Amino acid sequence: MCEHHHHHEHLKGNDKLQLIKIILAIVFFTLAIVTPSAGIVKVMIFLTAYIIAGGDVVIKAVKNIFKGEIFDENFLMVIATAGAFAIKEYPEAVMVMILYQIGEFLQEKAVAKSRKSISQLMDIRPDYANIEIDGKLTKVNPSVVKKDDIITVKTGEKIPLDGTVIEGHASVDTSALTGESVPRELSAGDSAISGCINTNGFLKIKVEKEFGESTVSKILELVEHAGSKKAKAENFITKFARYYTPAVVAGAAILAVLPPLILHADFNIWLQRALTFLVISCPCALVISVPLGFFAGIGGASKAGILIKGACYIEALSNPDYVVFDKTGTLTKGTFKVTEIHTSNITEEELLKLCAQAENYSSHPIAASLKEAYGKEINIESIKNVEEIAGNGVKANIDGDEILAGNSNLMDMFNVDFSTIDSAGTIVYTAKNRKFIGYIVISDEIKEDAKLTINNLKTLANQTVMLTGDSQKNAQYIAEELGVDKFYAELLPAQKVEKLEELISGKTKNKSVIFAGDGINDAPVLTRADVGIAMGGLGSDAAIEAADAVIMDDKPSKIVKAILIAKKTMSIVKQNIVFALGIKALFLILGAFGIITMWGAVFADTGVALLAVINSLRALKA
């Protein structure tokens, strides 16, 4: 196998060293060419140029032989160039190494560009936290800060740990996490997420999670291991190289020996062809460009605020059969809002005021939405004898009147004469002194880009499906509003997994089932899907841990973006495979018949690898 990892993490100093080495090798090569003598001096100058350019390749080859890794790129290069020296083709031997090093240098630059997009995410790592010790602010390592400690974040500083703002107001830049340039406003009571930058203002934050459990720590861990899960295409290339390289070495040996014996041809000519054959055979274009293509795709997605945990998920995302959604928090905002008010012998404002007063002491989301819609201060002195009737609503005495606010069961319980309303959403029926005075409809808002997402998915997937624990009526309303192909309502978490299993068992071969949920109560389904996508991963531990891909903001349209990035990445990977194999096959045939020389062989190796790398970098442009 052609081990072409190179640990592409060279520092700028190493880049300069490599450049100096290339320049020196070219100087000695030129000196050897212009040296008039054909004797030992000329050979020694060529040998010096060869050692400068290819010394490290020879050392790697020897080390790998002792490790049992014989058939790698370094071995092929050394055998081919040593053979060229043996038949006195000194310029070709040296130039193979020089061009190889130039190609390596340019590849390093290209790979560095790919890594940069992901390493930018590493910039979210906080350098320090400001904590008050003995009345003074002290900078400490975030890892030593404990839960419930108070930290301060000044303008221009990163928020080092997750917590709740207890004092101050600031605008924070979340772009490193979400890919979105619009800042978020934070003030007392808001959650502060590590990795964001305070662009203006001052914040005091009570720490809720130690550094190892914080959002930034989990994301950094995810990013660092993003390349560990290989796609089928990568595994294919690994296996291919394992068998291909020994085969071409054997082919080169046969090419060097058989024709001279059978045809009584010049041994040197066929040995040169065999050596050319060896240089061409290096499968580097495949071994470097295919993983790099996936890596660039992961980098392009991260720039868009989509974290994908490995190449295998890029492959699965590129070919979806079903895209399955949770409803609340994924297609809808998960926040309730008053959408309709219908009254009988009372104004809308009066009805809303009575409901808000009756629900004043409740912490239920329905109560919160009523108080928010009313939007005025409630006089609590006018509210007496509040009784919460579990699962049905509330009964309260307001300014001497008995007010009932709740569901239809509550109305029946107190013999109120009313008509049941058929409407999507939660209905709050209201009665004053046992007489029906109207109803308020409270609905979960659909996200702004949800409908566009479903429409776009019609062309990218076979079917869109919605799974929800909500009522049949509400689910039907949302499904029809968005144009979802199928929906299943009133499901418990275990039943969601069962439905997903049904879809997986019935999917088209080699296609995938994608599930998108909010990552809080959908962990079992996220885990079971071919690709689990967690929505709104910003600050959600469950999302980051359970999902295969995390959309850092709350936009379902990013699912479409993720699929398009995956499709583009897979297209580039396939182009590289076809291009590299095609050129290799053509040049191997031409090399065997002596139509091309060692110079053409260098293009077939390093040149093709470099072109494939440059093509891979297109995946960075999400």
Give the residue numbers marked as catalytic.
Answer: 326
d(CA 397, CA 529): 51
Closest CA to 449 of 333, 565, 338: 333
d(CA 609, CA 281): 12
Between CA 443 and CA 448, with CA 445 as vertex, the angle to 5 degrees is: 160
| 3-state class (DSSP) for residue 393 | strand
d(CA 620, CA 616): 8
**What tokens appear for 116 in the block?**
């940069």
**Strand-by-strand arrangement of the 512-517 sheet:** 306-308, 549-551, 531-535, 512-517, 320-326, 463-467, 486-488
Contact indicator for 50, 93 with CB cutoff of 8 Å: yes
Name beta bridge partners: 512.
320
d(CA 337, CA 44): 84
Q: How far is CA 218 from CA 122, 517, 551, 555, 579, in A?
A: 12, 19, 14, 21, 38
**What tokens appear for 341 in the block?**
């008010």
Number of residues assigned to the chain = 622
d(CA 543, CA 161): 18
**What tokens appear for 339 in the block?**
């959408």
| 3-state class (DSSP) for residue 483 | coil
Closest CA to 539 of 193, 174, 197: 193
d(CA 332, CA 478): 9
How large is the angle between the packed helices 73-86 and 90-119, nearest 10 degrees? 160
Name beta bridge partners: 516.
325, 533
Contact indicator for 607, 107 with CB cutoff of 8 Å: no
* 253 exposure class (CB count in 10 Å sphere: 0-12, 13-18, 19+): middle
Other residues' Cβ atoms within 10 Å of the Cβ of residue 225: 11
